[in-house]
Amino acid sequence: MVLARRTAMVCAAGVLALVGCSPGGGGSMAEPTHTAVATVTASSASPSPGSPTSSPSVSVPASTTPSPVPVTGAGQKLVTMTVSGGFAGVNRQVVLRGDGTVRTTDRGESVVRRTTAAQFMELRTLLGDRSLADVPGFAMNMGAADMFQYTLQFDDRTVITDRSAEEPALDRLIDALDKWLPTQ
């Protein structure tokens, strides 16, 4: 019985440690983005002869994934991202609309392309990440020179960043939108 309790405690500690780890984070702990519950059950009865040895069972709910932002109409602007600055004085823009089209503008030329259903769902899901609500409206390193400035407009707010502060949800959104911009 003592062995079963110790095994259950070790398993519970292992599960809780894994829930807090971030993938690829170099062993560092990440802030949890969801609540996880670990349930460990160990039988206090001795196993009967011929029956398998009881082992602890662990139950951890799946992580909560963001819901895609709703679309209210084809002309709805879901997100607008403007990239400006840098040494060369870049000024580029990408706009995702409710009909799944992406309009990019660079050096005065606009191009409209259509997303696939999977790409549209991915972008809407990134926009639905609740962590975006915690991103500050202005995060710039005022001592840095020649950095790109990203201005994003979504969900009735504007966020301005140079990406010098670590904001994982915002960084994922910027990276996904950046893929639509023409390469230099």
Shared-domain flag, residues 93 and 153: yes
Total domains in the chain come to 2
Cα 179 to Cα 126: distance, rounded to the nearest angstrom:
14
* Per-residue pLDDT, 88: 80
Q: What percent of the chain has pLDDT over 70?
A: 65
Predicted local distance difference test score (pLDDT) of residue 91:
93
- Which residue type occupies 160? I
Based on the domain organization, do 168 and 132 belong to the same domain?
A: yes
What is the percent of the chain where pLDDT is above 90? 55
- Mean pLDDT, the chain, rounded, equals 75
pTM to 2 decimal places: 0.65
Task: With respect to residue 68, please indicate whether it lies within any of the assigned structural domains.
Answer: no
The verdict on 138 and 112 lying in the same domain is yes
Enumerate residues 6+ apart whose C-beta is below 8 A from 40.
8, 9, 11, 12, 15, 56, 57, 58
- Judged against a pLDDT cut of 80, whether residue 109 lies above it is answered with yes
* Domain extent for 35: 2-59
pLDDT of residue 126: 98
Residue 70, in any domain of the structure:
no
Residues 51 and 127 in one domain: no
pLDDT at 1: 44
**Can you tell me the distance from the alpha carbon of 127 to that of 76, in angstroms, rounded to the nearest whole number?**
14
- Domain co-membership, 21 together with 81: no
pLDDT digits (tens, 9 = 90+) for 4-63: 333 333 333 333 333 333 333 333 333 333 333 333 333 344 444 444 444 344 443 444
Q: Is 87 within a domain?
A: yes
pLDDT for the residue 184: 60
Residue 133 lies in a domain: yes
Give 50-62 pLDDT, tens digit per residue. Answer: 444 443 444 434 4
Q: Does pLDDT of 174 surpass 90? A: yes
Based on the fold, state whether residues 49 and 134 are members of the same structural domain: no
